Amino acid sequence: MTLLRSLIVGVLAVAVAQLVRTLLADRRRAVRRIAWILLLAPYFTPILLTGYAYANFSLSLIHHPILNPILYSALLWWKFTPIAAVILHFTPAPISAEAIHCRRLVSSAGSAQRGVAATVSKFGHWAFLIRAGCAAGPVAAFAVVFLFAFAEFEMASLMVVKSWTVALFDSHAGGLALGESLRRMPGPLLCEAAAIATAFVVLGRRQVIPTQRIEGRPASRWFAWCHLVFAFVFVLAIPAAMVLWGTVRGFGLLMENFVLSREILASLLFAAGASVLAGLAAFWPGAAARGRSIGSMFCKAILIAAVFAGLLGSLVLSLTVLAAVQLPGLILLRNTPVPLVFTLGLVLLPMALVLRRVLELTARRSALHLTTLMQKSRAVRELTWKLSTSGKFRVMVLLFVWAFWDLTASSILAPIGMTPVTVRLYNLMHYGQIAALSAMTCAAFAAPIFVFLLALGTRRWWAPP
Amino acid sequence: MTPAPTSSPERGFSRRLIALAAIVVLLFGGYYLLWAPHRESLVVYCAHDSIFADSILREFERETGISVAVRYDTEATKSLGLVELLLQEKAHPRCDVFWNNELLGTLQLAGEGRLLSYRGSGYERIPAAFKDMDGRWAGFAARLRLWIVNTNRLAPTEAAVQQATSGDLDRMVIAKPLYGTTRTQYTILWKLWGRDKLLAWGADRRARHLREVDGNSMVKDLVSTGVCDLGWTDTDDFFEAQDDRKPVAMLPVRLENGKTICIPNTVAIIRGTQHLAEAQKLVDFLLSEKCEISLAAAKSRQIPLGPVDAARLPDDVKQLQRWANDGVPLGELDVANAECLAWLKSEYQ
């Protein structure tokens, strides 16, 4: 069931992403900006918020067992289409649309002369496009969306949808040993490994990113806009409105008894630790892994192993780490933040590497090189920030926010006395949607935003002298 | 001539990340020094809902000066949860006291030799039906299994419930019996009826489209919103719906012999504890009259099992107490627990 759902979500996401891409590469800056905001906002919406908002509604669909999985699939589609769109945007076809058109004209003229049927000619055209590497972007986008949809756990659990991740979790809840559970799951793990390998192979070969402007047909542009608006409304706006409405009513209660301060602080610390770990691994050994020396090869091997582990998803990884810290050699780490920070760092690493790759591909190298040749000054520092460091800073912020909103690893691995805020909120969400809880959720939302603003104040420190 | 660059932006950024890592490590250190539980803290694994248990444990801290570090069970981890964790940690226990919100997990731990015997002042005031004769655990502050009925759809009478459950069960909902108090209910039925009758009964209910969801709170939500007409849940969930002014009513679930199902919280000391004296104090505190009255006055309306001053009990709880007096004895469920759980796992996993 999960496999079929993930395949469908993957195909639909790539199909829509092809249309959305035209908006992202529009000639008008304002259009591009709105499209990017509408595209990325649902993706960065914490899954806990969306799941919380729809948990009651999905429960009310108990007499319509088909509708709930459809709603869940639609939410997955809206939430993960941005990944496909971003991949397609940054990995366009290596040959231009004009070149493809010219080839089509030449080959159709040739086919007409030779009397070959049009269908054969069309097949040849597709084969040519695939050979030329035009399918690489969509294949990679499909593989990554499939992987995310396939490994999703939190929303499936909140919306009571059947999924292999929930089944794995339940089998553990019933006391099944990790080894036995994993032995029951060779199929899912094989699917994940295949998707990971596909994405690696295809994305690893991409070298350039031409920033082309694309013109789409009006109908497809309208469809793309509709998709973006629906995604924004259903994944972010409705859940946020529900929480904000509750916040207005529960604000007084929250002020009377603000009980989440320690949990928010713990979450901020875990998120900081995990994002720094993932950032370090992506930007430091990530850079060292290039080249052919023994050291580089070693770095590469470690990174590949770490990325593979991270792509298994936080559920499988957390359960494995939980089993590992029961071993005599690692038992000292059991009640420390190390297992959780390490696990979150691994989970974030693949995305950190992808984002680093995007930064590399979009970097204006010659301009950056020129700044390194210039005399040190405040203006040069500002320029370096704009050309290079600001992108990395944004990557770190994203990693931080992702880590902050993790639920699965936090609920399994947080040490006693350091309960992250997501675990506490999720526990309270068990009692339904109440005003005070919505206010607490809102406060938890504000925390990483506050940290982001604080960090933005230190921007000069991030740009090297 | 233009001077050569002294450092690349790439290297500079990595250096700043390393500096940031050092700051984060320092912050973790600060957090640990200020707030993290100390080595002397009493570690409590608590399966009872945190919003009710937290105030009790903080009250214990205030009264005794003993610091308590709590690990709560969450919906996310269910009972990967505490009983499994306690079994996994057998060789290196870190938990001192286990506050379970039901009985079967505690029985399992007792059977595995994970609990220490203690008969303190609290143990003495609990009736024999709700404690282990060897002193390995004691029950307190119980819940009842209930029929929750949506009064807009059904009259809250035994006859109406009988009528509604005689045909198709599409409008009836229960929690999956693999976990929690529904599992206790099934285990009791296993003991009363034996394997074959329970299996046939379960198959018949499923054939009649009985709805099963993940927990008792979902049962409460479905019935209180009218999506389903009736279901089985616990008293604490029922009162949540009633306090929200939902159109619900309750009836006790009665077995064929007329007995009700009263499921206590249980408390036990974990073998291998490094804080035995403190653990004993907490056990006595939880089993005290004061604690039972606090839990009875809470929104969950837990039913006191030991003798208490009736004048201090809410009216709701007094009614529950009368039903709880008809409770089926929960002793000697060990064998039924193991067998029934094995069957449930084969059915639901």
Which of A59, A411, A428 lies at the smallest CB-CB distance from B77? A411
Pick the closest to residue B143 from B189, B109, B182 (CA basis): B182
Domain boundaries, chain B: 42-142+262-326, 144-252
| Backbone torsions φ then ψ of B269, nearest 5 degrees | -100, 135
CB B21 to CB A415 under 8 A?
no
Residue whose tokens read 């790439």: B10
Is it the case that residue A119 has pLDDT exceeding 60?
no
Which of B69, B178, B213 lies at the smallest CB-CB distance from A160? B213
Contact A313, A351 (CB under 8 A): no
Is it the case that residue B177 has pLDDT exceeding 50?
yes
pLDDT in tens, B9-67: 566 677 777 777 888 887 777 777 666 666 678 999 998 887 788 889 999 999 999 98
Residue A411 or residue A100, greater confidence: A411
Query: pLDDT class for B5, splitting at 50, 70, 90?
Result: very low
**Which of A120-124, A354-358, B129-133 shows the lowest per-residue confidence on average (mean pLDDT)?**
A120-124
Q: How far is residue A115 from each of residues A109, A121, A125, A450, measured CA to CA in Å?
A: 10, 10, 16, 69
pLDDT at A315: 80
Residues 368-397 of A with CB under 8 A from B: 368, 372-375, 384, 387-389, 392, 396
Percent of all residues in chain A with a pLDDT value above 70, rounded to a whole number: 78
| DSSP assignment string, A244-258 | HHHHHHHHHHHHH--
Is it the case that residue A210 has pLDDT exceeding 70?
no
Which of A157, A272, A412 lies at the smallest CB-CB distance from B24? A272
Is it the case that residue B224 has pLDDT exceeding 80?
yes
B43 touches chain A (CB under 8 A): yes
**Which of A406-410, B33-37, B124-128, B190-194 shows the lowest per-residue confidence on average (mean pLDDT)?**
B33-37
Q: Which residues of chain B have a CB within 8 Å of the CB of A464?
A: 7-9, 11-13, 15-16
Q: Which of A62, A344, A393 to mutate to test the interface with B (most CBs of B within 10 A)?
A: A62
CB-defined contacts A:B, below 8 A: 169
Query: pLDDT class for B3, splitting at 50, 70, 90?
Result: very low
A451 touches chain B (CB under 8 A): no
The fold for domain B42-142+262-326 equals: D-Maltodextrin-Binding Protein; domain 2 (3.40.190)
Tell me the CB-side half-sphere exposure of residue A206, using CA atoms within 13 A.
Answer: 32
What's the whole-number mean pLDDT along residues A223-233? 93
Shortest alpha-carbon distance between residue A110 and chain B (Å): 52
A430 touches chain B (CB under 8 A): yes
pLDDT in tens, A167-185: 877 776 666 666 666 666 6
Q: Which range is most confident: A380-394, A432-446, B330-344?
A: B330-344
Shortest alpha-carbon distance between residue A271 and chain B (Å): 10
Q: How far is residue A366 from each of residues A92, A116, A206, measured CA to CA in Å?
A: 22, 48, 20
Calculated CA dihedral for residues A180, A182, A186, A187, nearest 10 degrees: 110
**Which of A276-280, B95-99, B272-276, B327-331 shows the lowest per-residue confidence on average (mean pLDDT)?**
B327-331
A205 vs B191: CA distance, rounded Å? 64
B269 vs B289: CA distance, rounded Å? 20
Alpha helix stretches (DSSP H) within B141-256: 158-164, 180-193, 195-207, 216-224, 235-243
Percent of all residues in chain B with a pLDDT value above 90, rounded to a whole number: 50
Is it the case that residue B148 has pLDDT exceeding 60?
yes
Residues 8-37 of A with CB under 8 A from B: none
Instruction: Residue B172: count other Cβ atoms within 10 Å of its Cβ.
Output: 23
Residue B40 or residue B129, greater confidence: B129
**Which of A264-268, A323-327, B119-123 shows the lowest per-residue confidence on average (mean pLDDT)?**
A323-327
B180 touches chain A (CB under 8 A): no
CB A388 to CB B173 under 8 A?
no
Residue A180 or residue A16, greater confidence: A16
pLDDT at A167: 80
pLDDT at B335: 84
Residue whose tokens read 């595209």: A39
- CATH code given to domain B144-252: 3.40.190.10
Closest-CA residue in chain A for B178? A174
| Backbone torsions φ then ψ of A59, nearest 5 degrees | -65, -35
Q: Which residues of chain B have a CB within 8 Å of the CB of A170?
A: 78, 178, 348-349
What's the whole-number mean pLDDT along residues A307-331? 82
Residue B120 or residue B92, greater confidence: B120
Closest-CA residue in chain B for A437? B51
CB B227 to CB A60 under 8 A?
yes
B8 touches chain A (CB under 8 A): yes
CB A62 to CB B78 under 8 A?
no
Is it the case that residue A115 has pLDDT exceeding 70?
no
B209 touches chain A (CB under 8 A): no
CB A432 to CB B240 under 8 A?
yes
Contacts of A55 (CB under 8 A, 6+ apart): A158, A159, A160, A429
What's the whole-number mean pLDDT along residues B169-185? 89
| Backbone torsions φ then ψ of B172, nearest 5 degrees | -110, 140
Q: Which of B8, B23, B24 to mutate to test the interface with A (most CBs of A within 10 A)?
A: B24
B214 touches chain A (CB under 8 A): yes
pLDDT at A109: 65
Which of B5, B88, B348 lies at the smallest CB-CB distance from A326? B88
Query: pLDDT class for A240, splitting at 50, 70, 90?
Result: confident
Tell me whether the CATH fold assigned to B42-142+262-326 matches the one assigned to B144-252. yes
pLDDT in tens, A24-37: 888 888 888 899 89
Closest-CA residue in chain A for B27? A269
pLDDT in tens, B290-339: 999 999 998 889 999 999 888 888 888 988 998 988 888 887 788 888 89
In order of their start, the domains of chain A are 1-94+133-252 (1.10.3720)
pLDDT in tens, A263-305: 888 899 999 999 989 988 887 765 666 666 777 777 778 888 8
A320 touches chain B (CB under 8 A): no
Q: Which residues of chain A have a CB within 8 Å of the CB of B211?
A: 62
Closest-CA residue in chain A for B179? A174
Q: Which of A47, A52, A59, A357 to mutate to test the interface with B (most CBs of B within 10 A)?
A: A59
Is it the case that residue A120 has pLDDT exceeding 60?
no
Q: Which residues of chain A have a CB within 8 Å of the CB of B21?
A: 276-277, 280
What's the whole-number mean pLDDT along residues B154-173? 92
**Which of A206-210, A299-303, A410-414 shows the lowest per-residue confidence on average (mean pLDDT)?**
A206-210
Mean pLDDT, chain A, rounded, equals: 79
Query: pLDDT class for A197, splitting at 50, 70, 90?
Result: confident
Structure tokens of B142?
């119980």
What's the whole-number mean pLDDT along residues A408-415? 86
pLDDT at A445: 82
Q: Which residues of chain A have a CB within 8 Å of the CB of B31?
A: 265-266, 269, 418
B191 vs B335: CA distance, rounded Å? 8
pLDDT at A118: 55
pLDDT at A282: 83
CB B16 to CB A283 under 8 A?
no
pLDDT at B220: 92
